[in-house]
Amino acid sequence: MKDIAVIGSGGFSKQVIEIIEQINVRKKEYNLIGIIDDNNDLIGSEVLGYEVIGDTNYLDKLSQERQVHGVIAIAKAKVRNAIAKKLEKVNWVNLIHPKAIVSNYVDMGVGNIICGGVVINPDLKLGNHCHINIGTTLGHDVTMYNYVTVMPGSRISGNVTLKDNTTVGTGSTIIQGLTIEEDVVLGAGSVTVRDNKPNKLYIGVPAKDIKTLEYK
């Protein structure tokens, strides 16, 4: 089995742990060695019975000594980006829940997490370290860049492009053929009917730009 670490001990890490466990029900593929978190106060605590064994510096050292696989269970795209760049020796894996429906015609990078109930149609192009959460549907010919986060129950139609660091809020809808620019947040329940500008928050039906987002 492959030794794997889950980076991040928040709520989403529980979903990721379960994905690993469900994968192992079908085939013993991963040995979950523990949870990684940069809050040192959490070291020694547990998430669903798995210990927080150290911070990213610890995992960086461990991955230089032996082969370690990993996924980043942290919602914030910029944080995932920084961690992925720091941990160059970690072997990033794609975790796909056995109850997700994923077309055979998908071009996928690394470090992606696809939760249960997700439906992915043909000719999806998926970058690196994207999160596709419970009950989301992705139409044909969707292109996702890197560090995209799609919250539960979203509906993304065919031929949509989502650029780096996009966050699609819970229950959002994006109609076909649109481009969602980088660093955009689409608010929960929004319906996007036109292309948008980068670094903006959009909310409502139809979704409207309400403010520029500042990233530090």
| Structure confidence by residue, pLDDT tens digits, 66-125 | 999 999 999 999 999 999 999 999 999 999 999 999 999 999 999 999 999 999 999 999
3-class SS at 210? Answer: strand
**Angstrom distance (rounded) from CA 146 to CA 158:** 18
What pLDDT is recorded for position 213?
86
Please state, as a whole number, how many other Cβ atoms lie within 10 Å of the Cβ of residue 143: 17
Q: What pLDDT band is residue 215 in, cutting at 50, 70 and 90? A: low
What pLDDT is recorded for position 216?
55
To the nearest whole percent, how much of the chain has pLDDT over 90? 94
Q: What is the mean pLDDT of residues 182-194?
A: 96
What pLDDT is recorded for position 164?
97
The alpha-helical segments, DSSP class H, found in the chain are 11-26, 56-65, 77-86
| Structure confidence by residue, pLDDT tens digits, 21-80 | 999 998 899 999 999 999 999 999 999 999 999 999 999 999 999 999 999 999 999 999
